[in-house]
Amino acid sequence: MRANGGAVDIGDDWRSPVKVSTPIFNEQVGRQLGVDRESLGAAMQYAFEGTRVGVYRDGNRLLPIQMRAPLDERGDIDNMRDI
């Protein structure tokens, strides 16, 4: 596009800014509740992205089987406290 003399204001970064929430894990409270950082991370991954639980063979293709929380549980950031 830059080689074309008629093109102006060329941009190649199309990523839209998104809000990001970064949870902060309190080690002391986690110990009191019997929760460690790894189990919290696994629970959050299941809730929002999904966890791979198996593989389905379709002919010669291997398709991953993902398990994740229902949409009403993962669609709102306010539900993060319940995870």
Residue at 17 is within a domain? no
Residue 63 lies in a domain: yes
Range 36-49 average pLDDT:
89
In 15-83, where does DSSP find H-type helix?
27-33, 37-48, 71-74
CB 30 within 8 Å of CB 38 = no
Assigned domain for 14 exists: no
Q: Decide: 16 and 7 in contact? Cβ < 8 Å.
A: no
Here the CATH number for the domain that contains residue 75 is 3.30.2090.10
- Residue 7: band (very low, low, confident or very high) from pLDDT cuts 50, 70, 90: confident
The answer to whether residue 9 is domain-embedded is no
Given this model, what pLDDT does residue 48 score? 84
Task: Identify whether 68 is part of a domain.
Answer: yes
- Considering the domain boundaries, does residue 36 fall inside one? yes
What's residue 1's pLDDT?
65
Q: What is the pLDDT of residue 56?
A: 96
Predicted confidence at residue 47, as pLDDT, reads 86
Residue 6 lies in a domain: no
Mean pLDDT of the chain: 85
| Domain assignment of residue 56, yes or no | yes
**Structural domain count of the chain:** 1
Name the nearest CA neighbour of 83 among 46, 51, 52, 53: 46
Whose structure tokens read 């002391």? 28
Res 39: pLDDT:
92
